[in-house]
Amino acid sequence: MTAELIDGKAFALRLRARVGEGVARFRAAAGRVPGLAVVLVGEDAASAVYVRSKGKATVAAGMESFEHRLPADIDEASLIALVERLNADAAVDGILVQLPLPGHIDAARVLLAIDPDKDVDGFHPVNAGRLATGLPGFVPCTPLGCAMLLKDQLGDLSGKDAIVIGRSNIVGKPMAALLTAESCTVTIAHSRTHDLPGHVHRADIVVAAVGRANFVKGEWIKPGAVVIDVGINRTEDGLVGDVDFGGAAMVASAITPVPGGVGPMTIACLLRNTLVAAHRRDG
Ligand code: GUN
Protein backbone atom coordinates (compact mmCIF):
# COMPACT_ATOMS: atom_id res chain seq x y z
CA MET A 1 0.00 0.00 0.00
CA THR A 2 1.28 3.46 -0.85
CA ALA A 3 -1.71 5.66 -0.04
CA GLU A 4 -1.84 7.69 3.16
CA LEU A 5 -4.80 6.75 5.37
CA ILE A 6 -7.17 9.64 6.04
CA ASP A 7 -8.04 9.26 9.72
CA GLY A 8 -11.65 10.42 9.88
CA LYS A 9 -12.03 9.03 13.37
CA ALA A 10 -9.28 11.24 14.78
CA PHE A 11 -10.50 14.27 12.79
CA ALA A 12 -14.05 13.71 14.08
CA LEU A 13 -12.84 13.48 17.69
CA ARG A 14 -11.02 16.81 17.34
CA LEU A 15 -14.13 18.39 15.79
CA ARG A 16 -16.32 17.03 18.58
CA ALA A 17 -13.94 18.44 21.19
CA ARG A 18 -14.09 21.87 19.47
CA VAL A 19 -17.91 21.69 19.40
CA GLY A 20 -17.86 20.82 23.12
CA GLU A 21 -15.80 23.96 23.82
CA GLY A 22 -18.21 25.98 21.70
CA VAL A 23 -21.16 24.57 23.65
CA ALA A 24 -19.54 25.66 26.94
CA ARG A 25 -19.10 29.21 25.57
CA PHE A 26 -22.68 29.24 24.26
CA ARG A 27 -23.97 28.11 27.64
CA ALA A 28 -22.07 30.87 29.44
CA ALA A 29 -23.37 33.54 27.05
CA ALA A 30 -26.95 32.36 26.43
CA GLY A 31 -27.72 30.73 29.79
CA ARG A 32 -28.95 27.53 28.16
CA VAL A 33 -27.54 24.59 26.23
CA PRO A 34 -28.24 23.74 22.57
CA GLY A 35 -30.85 21.00 22.11
CA LEU A 36 -31.16 18.35 19.40
CA ALA A 37 -34.38 16.40 18.86
CA VAL A 38 -34.04 13.05 17.07
CA VAL A 39 -37.15 11.26 15.82
CA LEU A 40 -37.06 7.52 15.15
CA VAL A 41 -40.05 5.77 13.61
CA GLY A 42 -40.22 1.98 13.87
CA GLU A 43 -37.73 -0.67 14.87
CA ASP A 44 -35.12 -0.68 12.07
CA ALA A 45 -32.04 -2.06 13.83
CA ALA A 46 -29.43 0.02 11.96
CA SER A 47 -31.44 3.22 12.48
CA ALA A 48 -31.79 2.45 16.20
CA VAL A 49 -28.00 2.10 16.48
CA TYR A 50 -27.43 5.41 14.66
CA VAL A 51 -30.00 7.20 16.83
CA ARG A 52 -28.43 5.88 20.02
CA SER A 53 -24.96 7.02 18.89
CA LYS A 54 -26.31 10.46 17.98
CA GLY A 55 -27.97 10.82 21.39
CA LYS A 56 -24.81 9.78 23.26
CA ALA A 57 -22.60 12.11 21.21
CA THR A 58 -25.03 15.00 21.77
CA VAL A 59 -24.88 14.55 25.55
CA ALA A 60 -21.08 14.07 25.46
CA ALA A 61 -20.77 17.46 23.72
CA GLY A 62 -22.73 19.09 26.56
CA MET A 63 -25.97 19.52 24.60
CA GLU A 64 -29.45 18.32 25.43
CA SER A 65 -30.78 15.31 23.52
CA PHE A 66 -34.52 14.78 23.03
CA GLU A 67 -35.32 11.35 21.67
CA HIS A 68 -38.76 10.59 20.23
CA ARG A 69 -39.42 6.94 19.41
CA LEU A 70 -42.64 6.34 17.53
CA PRO A 71 -44.30 3.07 16.51
CA ALA A 72 -43.85 1.88 12.91
CA ASP A 73 -47.58 2.21 12.23
CA ILE A 74 -47.84 5.88 13.22
CA ASP A 75 -49.70 7.92 10.62
CA GLU A 76 -48.08 10.72 8.67
CA ALA A 77 -50.27 13.46 10.18
CA SER A 78 -49.22 12.50 13.73
CA LEU A 79 -45.55 12.50 12.76
CA ILE A 80 -45.91 15.92 11.13
CA ALA A 81 -47.76 17.17 14.25
CA LEU A 82 -44.74 16.11 16.36
CA VAL A 83 -42.36 17.92 13.97
CA GLU A 84 -44.51 21.05 14.30
CA ARG A 85 -44.37 20.84 18.10
CA LEU A 86 -40.59 20.57 17.90
CA ASN A 87 -40.48 23.56 15.51
CA ALA A 88 -42.27 25.60 18.19
CA ASP A 89 -40.23 24.27 21.15
CA ALA A 90 -37.73 26.92 22.33
CA ALA A 91 -35.42 24.27 23.85
CA VAL A 92 -34.99 22.54 20.48
CA ASP A 93 -32.38 24.02 18.11
CA GLY A 94 -32.04 21.07 15.75
CA ILE A 95 -34.52 18.48 14.49
CA LEU A 96 -33.52 15.23 12.80
CA VAL A 97 -36.01 12.67 11.51
CA GLN A 98 -34.09 9.44 10.99
CA LEU A 99 -34.45 7.96 7.50
CA PRO A 100 -35.66 5.68 6.04
CA LEU A 101 -39.27 6.11 7.16
CA PRO A 102 -41.84 3.31 6.81
CA GLY A 103 -43.32 3.02 3.30
CA HIS A 104 -46.74 4.45 4.18
CA ILE A 105 -45.18 7.79 5.16
CA ASP A 106 -44.11 10.32 2.50
CA ALA A 107 -40.63 11.30 3.72
CA ALA A 108 -40.55 14.38 1.47
CA ARG A 109 -43.68 15.78 3.18
CA VAL A 110 -42.22 15.15 6.63
CA LEU A 111 -38.91 16.82 5.77
CA LEU A 112 -40.83 19.78 4.33
CA ALA A 113 -42.54 20.26 7.71
CA ILE A 114 -39.22 20.85 9.53
CA ASP A 115 -38.39 24.52 10.15
CA PRO A 116 -35.45 25.09 7.73
CA ASP A 117 -33.60 26.96 10.51
CA LYS A 118 -33.78 23.82 12.72
CA ASP A 119 -33.00 21.44 9.85
CA VAL A 120 -29.55 20.33 11.03
CA ASP A 121 -29.58 17.43 8.54
CA GLY A 122 -29.81 19.95 5.70
CA PHE A 123 -32.45 17.87 3.88
CA HIS A 124 -35.15 20.57 3.58
CA PRO A 125 -35.47 21.91 0.01
CA VAL A 126 -34.84 25.44 1.35
CA ASN A 127 -31.43 24.33 2.62
CA ALA A 128 -30.69 22.44 -0.61
CA GLY A 129 -31.50 25.68 -2.44
CA ARG A 130 -29.35 27.74 -0.10
CA LEU A 131 -26.42 25.39 -0.71
CA ALA A 132 -26.96 25.49 -4.47
CA THR A 133 -27.05 29.30 -4.51
CA GLY A 134 -24.27 29.99 -2.00
CA LEU A 135 -26.47 31.28 0.84
CA PRO A 136 -25.79 30.34 4.48
CA GLY A 137 -27.88 27.35 5.56
CA PHE A 138 -27.40 23.79 6.76
CA VAL A 139 -25.34 21.35 4.71
CA PRO A 140 -26.02 17.60 5.00
CA CYS A 141 -23.61 16.09 7.52
CA THR A 142 -21.96 13.33 5.48
CA PRO A 143 -20.92 15.46 2.49
CA LEU A 144 -19.92 18.28 4.87
CA GLY A 145 -17.61 15.82 6.65
CA CYS A 146 -16.17 14.62 3.33
CA ALA A 147 -15.43 18.21 2.28
CA MET A 148 -13.67 18.87 5.61
CA LEU A 149 -11.46 15.79 5.13
CA LEU A 150 -10.64 16.79 1.54
CA LYS A 151 -9.69 20.35 2.51
CA ASP A 152 -7.57 19.07 5.38
CA GLN A 153 -5.80 16.69 3.02
CA LEU A 154 -5.37 18.91 -0.04
CA GLY A 155 -5.74 22.51 1.15
CA ASP A 156 -7.11 24.53 -1.77
CA LEU A 157 -9.35 22.37 -3.98
CA SER A 158 -9.77 24.93 -6.77
CA GLY A 159 -9.29 23.63 -10.30
CA LYS A 160 -9.25 19.98 -9.22
CA ASP A 161 -11.18 17.45 -11.28
CA ALA A 162 -13.64 15.75 -8.92
CA ILE A 163 -16.05 12.92 -9.52
CA VAL A 164 -18.96 12.13 -7.23
CA ILE A 165 -20.36 8.65 -7.85
CA GLY A 166 -23.98 8.63 -6.69
CA ARG A 167 -26.66 11.32 -7.00
CA SER A 168 -28.72 10.98 -3.81
CA ASN A 169 -30.17 14.04 -2.10
CA ILE A 170 -28.36 13.02 1.11
CA VAL A 171 -24.82 12.64 -0.26
CA GLY A 172 -24.21 12.87 -4.02
CA LYS A 173 -26.01 16.09 -4.92
CA PRO A 174 -24.91 18.15 -1.88
CA MET A 175 -21.35 16.79 -2.25
CA ALA A 176 -21.26 17.99 -5.86
CA ALA A 177 -22.59 21.40 -4.76
CA LEU A 178 -19.89 21.71 -2.07
CA LEU A 179 -17.11 20.76 -4.50
CA THR A 180 -18.48 23.23 -7.06
CA ALA A 181 -18.41 25.91 -4.36
CA GLU A 182 -14.74 25.00 -3.78
CA SER A 183 -14.13 25.65 -7.51
CA CYS A 184 -13.60 22.02 -8.49
CA THR A 185 -14.63 20.80 -11.94
CA VAL A 186 -17.28 18.31 -10.90
CA THR A 187 -18.65 15.23 -12.64
CA ILE A 188 -21.71 13.50 -11.12
CA ALA A 189 -21.76 9.85 -12.13
CA HIS A 190 -24.62 7.40 -11.56
CA SER A 191 -26.06 4.09 -12.66
CA ARG A 192 -26.65 5.33 -16.24
CA THR A 193 -23.16 6.81 -16.71
CA HIS A 194 -21.29 5.52 -19.76
CA ASP A 195 -17.62 4.59 -19.30
CA LEU A 196 -17.50 5.14 -15.53
CA PRO A 197 -13.88 3.83 -15.35
CA GLY A 198 -12.82 6.48 -17.88
CA HIS A 199 -14.51 9.28 -15.92
CA VAL A 200 -13.01 8.09 -12.62
CA HIS A 201 -9.55 7.89 -14.21
CA ARG A 202 -9.59 11.63 -15.00
CA ALA A 203 -10.41 12.64 -11.41
CA ASP A 204 -8.03 14.10 -8.82
CA ILE A 205 -10.78 13.59 -6.21
CA VAL A 206 -13.08 10.56 -6.12
CA VAL A 207 -16.10 10.49 -3.78
CA ALA A 208 -17.88 7.12 -3.88
CA ALA A 209 -21.45 7.02 -2.53
CA VAL A 210 -23.24 4.23 -4.37
CA GLY A 211 -23.95 1.69 -1.61
CA ARG A 212 -22.37 -1.27 -3.42
CA ALA A 213 -19.48 -3.17 -1.85
CA ASN A 214 -16.10 -2.81 -3.62
CA PHE A 215 -17.78 -1.24 -6.66
CA VAL A 216 -15.00 1.21 -7.61
CA LYS A 217 -11.93 -0.70 -8.80
CA GLY A 218 -8.33 0.18 -8.03
CA GLU A 219 -7.35 0.26 -11.70
CA TRP A 220 -9.94 3.01 -12.37
CA ILE A 221 -8.16 5.39 -9.98
CA LYS A 222 -5.74 7.98 -11.36
CA PRO A 223 -2.32 7.69 -9.70
CA GLY A 224 -2.09 10.23 -6.88
CA ALA A 225 -5.86 10.84 -6.59
CA VAL A 226 -7.54 11.32 -3.21
CA VAL A 227 -10.33 8.80 -2.58
CA ILE A 228 -13.24 9.38 -0.17
CA ASP A 229 -15.32 6.26 0.42
CA VAL A 230 -18.79 7.00 1.82
CA GLY A 231 -20.02 3.39 1.54
CA ILE A 232 -20.75 1.20 4.56
CA ASN A 233 -21.70 -2.25 3.26
CA ARG A 234 -22.19 -5.30 5.43
CA THR A 235 -20.61 -8.36 3.75
CA GLU A 236 -19.37 -11.79 4.82
CA ASP A 237 -15.94 -10.15 5.22
CA GLY A 238 -17.40 -7.54 7.59
CA LEU A 239 -17.92 -3.84 6.84
CA VAL A 240 -16.51 -2.71 3.50
CA GLY A 241 -16.78 0.49 1.50
CA ASP A 242 -17.86 1.22 -2.07
CA VAL A 243 -14.19 1.22 -3.15
CA ASP A 244 -11.96 -1.82 -3.58
CA PHE A 245 -9.69 -0.58 -0.79
CA GLY A 246 -6.70 -2.86 -1.45
CA GLY A 247 -6.54 -1.99 -5.15
CA ALA A 248 -7.20 1.74 -4.72
CA ALA A 249 -4.65 2.10 -1.90
CA MET A 250 -1.91 0.96 -4.34
CA VAL A 251 -2.45 3.98 -6.63
CA ALA A 252 -4.16 6.76 -4.64
CA SER A 253 -2.16 9.34 -2.68
CA ALA A 254 -4.68 9.17 0.18
CA ILE A 255 -7.83 7.20 0.98
CA THR A 256 -10.41 6.95 3.76
CA PRO A 257 -10.70 3.51 5.41
CA VAL A 258 -14.05 1.80 6.15
CA PRO A 259 -14.73 1.86 9.04
CA GLY A 260 -12.93 4.87 10.56
CA GLY A 261 -13.04 7.25 7.60
CA VAL A 262 -16.17 9.17 6.65
CA GLY A 263 -18.54 7.48 9.14
CA PRO A 264 -17.42 9.25 12.34
CA MET A 265 -17.52 12.61 10.54
CA THR A 266 -21.29 12.45 10.07
CA ILE A 267 -22.13 12.63 13.78
CA ALA A 268 -19.40 15.22 14.44
CA CYS A 269 -20.91 17.45 11.71
CA LEU A 270 -24.40 16.94 13.14
CA LEU A 271 -23.18 18.29 16.49
CA ARG A 272 -21.49 21.18 14.72
CA ASN A 273 -24.68 22.01 12.79
CA THR A 274 -26.70 21.92 16.02
CA LEU A 275 -24.34 24.38 17.72
CA VAL A 276 -24.54 26.64 14.64
CA ALA A 277 -28.36 26.41 14.76
CA ALA A 278 -28.35 27.42 18.43
CA HIS A 279 -26.15 30.44 17.68
CA ARG A 280 -28.36 31.52 14.78
CA ARG A 281 -31.45 31.35 16.99
CA ASP A 282 -29.98 32.78 20.16
CA GLY A 283 -26.87 34.90 19.84
N1 GUN B 1 -30.24 7.78 7.53
C2 GUN B 1 -28.98 7.49 7.13
N3 GUN B 1 -28.19 8.58 7.24
C4 GUN B 1 -28.95 9.57 7.74
C5 GUN B 1 -28.69 10.92 8.10
O6 GUN B 1 -27.59 11.46 7.97
N7 GUN B 1 -29.75 11.61 8.61
C8 GUN B 1 -30.98 11.05 8.74
N9 GUN B 1 -31.94 11.82 9.20
N10 GUN B 1 -31.25 9.81 8.42
C11 GUN B 1 -30.25 9.07 7.93
List pLDDT tens digits, range 51-60: 999 999 999 9
Identify the burial level of 103 via C-beta atoms within 10 angstroms of its C-beta, where 0-12 means exposed, 13-18 middle and 19 or more buried: exposed
Report the pLDDT value the prediction gives residue 30, as an integer from 0 to 100: 97
pLDDT in tens, 65-118: 999 999 999 999 999 999 999 999 999 999 999 999 999 999 999 999 999 999
Q: Is 166 helix (H, G, I), strand (E, B) or coil?
A: coil
Question: What one-character-per-residue DSSP string does 27-41 give?
Answer: HHHHSS--EEEEEEE
Read off the pLDDT of residues 167-180 as tens digits, 9 standing for 90 and up. 999 999 999 999 99
Asked if 166 and 211 count as a contact pair (C-beta separation under 8 A), the reply is yes
Residue among 50, 86, 101, 139 whose CB has most ligand 1 atoms within 8 A, to mutate: 50
Ligand 1 first shell, C-beta below 6 A: 96-99, 121, 141-142, 266
How far is it, in rounded angstroms, from Cα 176 to Cα 164? 6
How far, in Å, is the centroid of ligand 1 from the Cα of 250? 32
Domain with CATH 3.40.50.720 in the chain: 141-263
pLDDT of residue 19: 98
**Whether the Cβ atoms of residue 222 and residue 202 lie closer than 8 Å to each other:** yes
Q: Residue 96 corresponds to which amino acid?
A: L
Q: Mention every residue, 6+ apart, whose C-beta is less than 8 A from residue 136.
A: 130
Q: ipTM of this predicted complex?
A: 0.94
237 in catalytic set: no
User: What number of other Cβ atoms are within 10 A of residue 197's Cβ?
Assistant: 11
Whole-number Å distance between alpha carbons of 73 and 70: 8
Average the pLDDT over 216-234 and give the result.
98
Active-site residue 156, yes or no? Answer: no
Nearest to 46 by CA among 94, 110, 9, 100: 100
The CATH number of 31-116 is which of 3.40.50.10710, 3.40.640.10, 3.40.50.10860, 3.40.50.300? 3.40.50.10860
- Burial code (b: 16+ CB inside 10 Å, e: under 16) for 134-161 equals eeebbbbbbbbbbbbbbeebeeebeebb
DSSP character at residue 195: S
CB atoms within 10 A of CB 16: 19
Q: How far apart are CA 98 and CA 124, in angstroms?
A: 13
Q: Is the dihedral of CA 48, 49, 53, 59 positive or negative?
A: positive
Mean pLDDT in residue range 131-139: 98
Mean pLDDT along residues 179-206: 98
Cross-sheet strand order for the sheet of 64-70: 64-70, 35-41, 94-97
The verdict on pTM exceeding 0.95 is: yes
**Residue 41 pLDDT more than 70?**
yes
What percent of the chain is modeled with pLDDT above 90?
99
CATH superfamily entry for domain 141-263: NAD(P)-binding Rossmann-like Domain (3.40.50.720)
pLDDT at 264: 97
Distance in Å, CA 201 to ligand 1 centroid? 30
For CATH 3.40.50.10860, the residue range(s) in the chain are 31-116
Strand 94-97 and strand 161-165: the pairing is unpaired
Residue type, 79: L
Residue ranges of E strands in 200-263? 205-208, 226-229, 233-235, 238-240, 254-255
pLDDT of residue 1: 66
Distance 28 CA to ligand 1 centre (A): 31
Give catalytic status of residue 222 as yes or no.
Answer: no
- DSSP annotation of 254 reads E
Give residue 283's pLDDT band: very low, low, confident or very high (50, 70, 90).
low
Report how far apart, in Å, the C-alpha atoms of 117 and of each of 83, 239, 272 are: 13, 35, 14
pLDDT of residue 282: 85
The angle at the Cα of 170, spanning 133 to 209, to the nearest 5 degrees, equals 115
